[in-house]
A and B are shown apart, each in its own frame.
Chain A
C-alpha cells in the first residue's frame, strides 16, 4: 500500500536551473496538494487540484507550475530556481474536502 510517493528525496539545484518534483498516489483520491515547509513557518500551500485537468493557485504559487493529466499524478515544476525556493516540499492527497490528508515523505530541495 504505497499511498503518496514523492521523488526525488533530495536535490541540489543551481540558480536558474529547472526541475520537476514528482508525486503519485494510488488511493484514487480526487484532491491533491503541494506544500512547502520552511523552518518555524508551518506549511504553505503552493498549488492544489480537485481532479484531473483542474488546478488552482494556493498561497505561494510564484515560481512554480503544476499539471494534473491523470488522477494519480500531480507533478510540480520549478522554473528558474532561486535560493528562496530552498525548502522541503510535500505532496498530499485527500478523498474529500473534510477528511484528513495523506502526505508523501517529502523532497528536500537546496538551491545554491
Chain B
C-alpha cells in the first residue's frame, strides 16, 4: 500500500531559526497532499494542503510545495516561534479510504 515517510524527530530549534521537515510519499498519480499540526492534548488540525503538482500550500507562515518529480512535500517556515512547538503530520490522499498519514515529527522550539 501507499506510505508517507517523514523525518524522525524530535527536531529542536532556537526561536527564529529556519524550519524544514521532510516528507515523501509513494502514491502514484496525483494525490492531494496535506500537513496537519497537533498541539499537546488536542486533535490534528489541517495546516495546509496542495492538490496538484507545483502547487504551494501556505498558512501561518508555513509553506510546502507539491513536487511530483521527487514525490515530496517538505514543510518550511522561515522563522519559528515557541508557539510552533507541536507534532507535524504529513498525509497524502483525500479519498475516504485512501488517506495515509506519516508517523509525525515533533518540533520543539526553545527561546
User: Are A and B a genuine interacting pair, yes or no?
Assistant: yes
Residues of A within 8 A of B (CB): 4, 31, 33, 40-43, 45, 48, 50, 56, 58, 90, 92, 94, 97-106
Residues in A with CB closer than 8 Å to B41 are: 105
Residues in A with CB closer than 8 Å to B49 are: 99-100
CB within 8 A of A98: which of B32, B44, B46?
Answer: B32
What are the 10 A-B residue pairs with the smallest beta carbon separation, nearest first?
A103-B43, A100-B46, A98-B94, A42-B103, A43-B101, A42-B101, A103-B44, A105-B43, A98-B32, A97-B95
**Number of B positions contacting A (CB below 8 A):** 21
CB within 8 A of B96: which of A4, A31, A42, A100?
Answer: A31
Q: Is B28 an interface residue (CB 8 A)?
A: no
Q: Is B14 an interface residue (CB 8 A)?
A: no
Asked if A42 and B99 make an inter-chain contact with CB atoms under 8 angstroms apart, the answer reads no
Task: Tell me which of A31, A50, A97 has the highest count of chain B C-beta atoms within 10 A of its own C-beta.
Answer: A97
Q: Is B58 an interface residue (CB 8 A)?
A: no
Asked if B42 and A97 make an inter-chain contact with CB atoms under 8 angstroms apart, the answer reads no
Residues in B with CB closer than 8 Å to A102 are: 46
Asked if A42 and B42 make an inter-chain contact with CB atoms under 8 angstroms apart, the answer reads no
Secondary structure class of chain B's binding surface, majority of residues: loop
Tally of A-B residue pairs with Cβ under 8 A? 54
Residues in A with CB closer than 8 Å to B102 are: 42
Whole-angstrom CA separation of A102 from B49 in the bound complex: 13
Asked if B96 and A97 make an inter-chain contact with CB atoms under 8 angstroms apart, the answer reads yes
Residues in A with CB closer than 8 Å to B45 are: 103
Whole-angstrom CA separation of A92 from B44 in the bound complex: 9
Q: Is B51 an interface residue (CB 8 A)?
A: yes
Query: Which residues of chain B from 82 to 111 have a CB within 8 Å of any chain A CB?
Result: 89, 94-97, 99, 101-104
Query: Which residues of chain B from 1 to 48 have a CB within 8 Å of any chain A CB?
Result: 32, 34, 36, 41-46
Asked if A40 and B103 make an inter-chain contact with CB atoms under 8 angstroms apart, the answer reads yes
In the complex, the chain A residue whose C-beta lies closest to that of B32 is: A98
Whole-angstrom CA separation of A33 from B43 in the bound complex: 13
